[in-house]
Amino acid sequence: MKSIYLILPFFFIFFFNASSQDFGEFPEELLKMTSLPEDPEEDAVIIFDKCTVRINHDFDLEITRHTRIKILKEEGKEQANVKIVIWKDDNISRIEAIAVSPDGKEYELDSDNIYEEEGLRTKTISLPIPGVEVGTVFDYTYRIYSQYISHLKPWSFQSDIYTKYSEVIVYLPGGFTYSKLALNLYSYDLQENYEAISDRDDTRKKIGMYTWSCKNLPGIKDEPYTDNIDDNFAQLYFVLVGYKDEYVNLKFSENWEAVSADIYKYYDDLIDNDDAESVVNNIIKSERDELIKAKLIYDYVRTNIRSTDHKTIIGEDFKTPEKVLSEKNGSTSEKTMLLINMLNKAGLNAQPVWVSTRSNGSIIKEFCDRAQFNRIVCLIQVGTQKYFLYPSSTSIQFGRLPFQLVVPDGLLISDEKGCLISIKPINEKGSINIKTDGNIDLQKSLKATSQITYNGPSAVDERDEIQEKGLETYIKDSFKEKFADATLDTFYCVNIDSIYQPLILHIAFTIPNYLEETEPLGYFKLPFFSKFKENPFTKEKRINPIDFRYPELCSETIKIDFPENYSISELPAKRKRLITNAGFNQVYSSTKNYVECSRTYDLNNRRFPTKNYFEIKSLFNDLVSSANEQIVISKKIQPGN
């Protein structure tokens, strides 16, 4: 999850009756409520979630929050495990929680049951709400004091469950200036209001009271093929720009150039360190071609430096290039910094670029916060061509990035012209080509051989898995997952280490009792490697975009011979489904004593908007059902019978 300074909590929901918002006072109609008309499938609902944020005269933040939740189904009871994450230096107090069961019994949270766990920079407070069952309504409230006024955590108008009402109020003293940024709110009715009111601490002065609210927001579920769920919430960023009075002129927000220049001060020595110079000279020797030199150095780091767990991209825990080189290991970002250092020692122009992995979340360009980033990639320019490099594994080719880092933008780290830039690696579509030939013998067993060829990012994924598991375990695991009843006879692999060549697997296998017989008919299904056991898209609706790893084309051809005393009786019908930027096609044919099938699954884009969800779901239904269709053959009537 993206690490952004945590100042403002989540928020806010409410039945539109002022008397029903007092802590622990639940209206009768809410206690009797058994389902949510707006979304009958929902497990629980946030009735209201209200937050107030006040900057006091000591320039501290005072944050209060009051949340009310109704449990509708057994699965919704997990909402009672409330967790509050704050900075380690923050102070939390006035924690209260109360639950009322459908029969009116009350349960209050005992202070002895409030648990606190400290992390590196934050602490987590756990509130296990007592007495929660289906039908329960519960409230919880707390107050936080924080000194981090320059980086306000965005507030989210949405949760993972339906939200009836969401509200945040910010009390801002005179002299403060701010900017706000709304994300994913275009389809919701965001209400804004400003009012000048008397200062609580000095009634002679006026302060600004800013209110934002939303109603009826569906829950955002973490579903398959979602890069980062936080990217999909309706959120409001409240960015303090500065404070000015007759004595003080403070500037809080930065621009990307200033952020980049500040980071570069730390990286400057790492980039120019001379310890790798002799190693670089030994790698490139007398080579003059700059592109060849760059590839030689990249391949050295890729193959000779082992990747370790990732920790950070800056600071005391970031291992220097000198140490990475001497110990022959480092995190992927530490390896990248070594690569940048070595390329510069070879006289090449290499610079660090900060990026955010897809799982970490998309960066917000208008929000100049370095905490949005979590990886370093290398940008090198050779002539007029720019290349992005990231030696995360031995399988990544020069100029290509792993799918997690194929993202739109990154922050160029420079002491002069640091800025956000477009990330444009050499990308290509993944491809898998499968060819199988088999024969059903008189004992009704299938003996078959298959050749599977991987290219592009598809080959990277398979090579990484082979390296992690070992070839034999990898083959056996993946094969058994496809064909549980089969016996793996022989296998071998071509081009495991030749990453600029296709990865090719050769497999021979036997499936006993493959032909099912009910006189005079026989039945069998083709052994598809490209089959899906089940459709990953099961929900009736989806709010998140659909994020695949990368565009990919999978084509598979199978030819199966069967005994001469049989002939084709029935073949599955042709399948063809074309949707926006994707398609599936499957065709059977037969002649004499064999049947052949060609099957193609094509994703031209990696991301599909929500509006295409039903098309994608239908496409995957075809992928699942088409692989389970049976071929029917019948025994030929012999002369004299």
Q: Are residues 416 and 492 in the same domain?
A: no
Contact 319, 330 (CB under 8 A): yes
Q: How many domains does the chain have?
A: 3
Query: Looking at 422, 449, 465, which one is the last position of a domain?
Result: 422
Given 230, 251, 272, the domain boundary residue is 251
User: Poorest-confidence range of 73-77, 270-274, 443-447?
Assistant: 270-274
Instruction: Give the DSSP H/E element, type plus range, for residue 326.
Output: helix 321-327
Q: What is the pLDDT of residues 515-555, one digit of tens each?
A: 998 888 999 999 999 999 999 999 888 989 999 999 999 99
pLDDT above 50: residue 2: no
* 1 within domain boundaries: no
Do 54 and 189 lie in one domain? The reply is yes
Asked if 261 and 320 sit in the same domain, the reply is: yes
Give Cβ neighbours of residue 244 (< 8 Å, ≥ 6 apart): 175, 177, 250
Residue 387 lies in a domain: yes
Calpha distance 303→163 (Å, rounded):
51
Residue 450's contacts (CB-CB under 8 Å, 6 or more residues apart) are: 434, 435, 436, 505, 506, 507, 508, 509, 529
Residues 434 and 394 in one domain: no
Percent of the chain with pLDDT strictly greater than 70? 95
Assigned token pair, 490: 């022989």
For residues 214 and 310, membership in a common domain is answered with no
One domain for residues 526 and 400? no
Does residue 295 have a pLDDT over 80? yes
> 340 and 221, same structural domain?
no
The two tokens of residue 331 are 């995190």
pLDDT of residue 367: 85
Residue 491 counted as domain residue = yes
CATH number, residue 389? 3.10.620.30
Would you state the structure tokens that stand for residue 359, as one six-digit string? 């799982």
Residues 364 and 403 in one domain: yes
pLDDT in tens, 335-391: 999 999 999 999 999 999 999 999 999 999 988 888 899 999 999 999 999 999 999
Q: Which residues of 497-522 are buried (b: 16+ CB within 10 A; e: fewer)?
A: eebeebbbbebebbbeebbeeeeeeb
In terms of average pLDDT, the best of 74-78, 362-366, 563-567 is 74-78
Residues 140 and 284 in one domain: no
Range of 65's domain?
Answer: 18-251
Least confident of 8-12, 54-58, 457-461: 8-12
* Pair (41, 190) in one structural domain: yes
Angle formed at CA 478 by CA 472 and CA 482, multiple of 5 degrees? 140
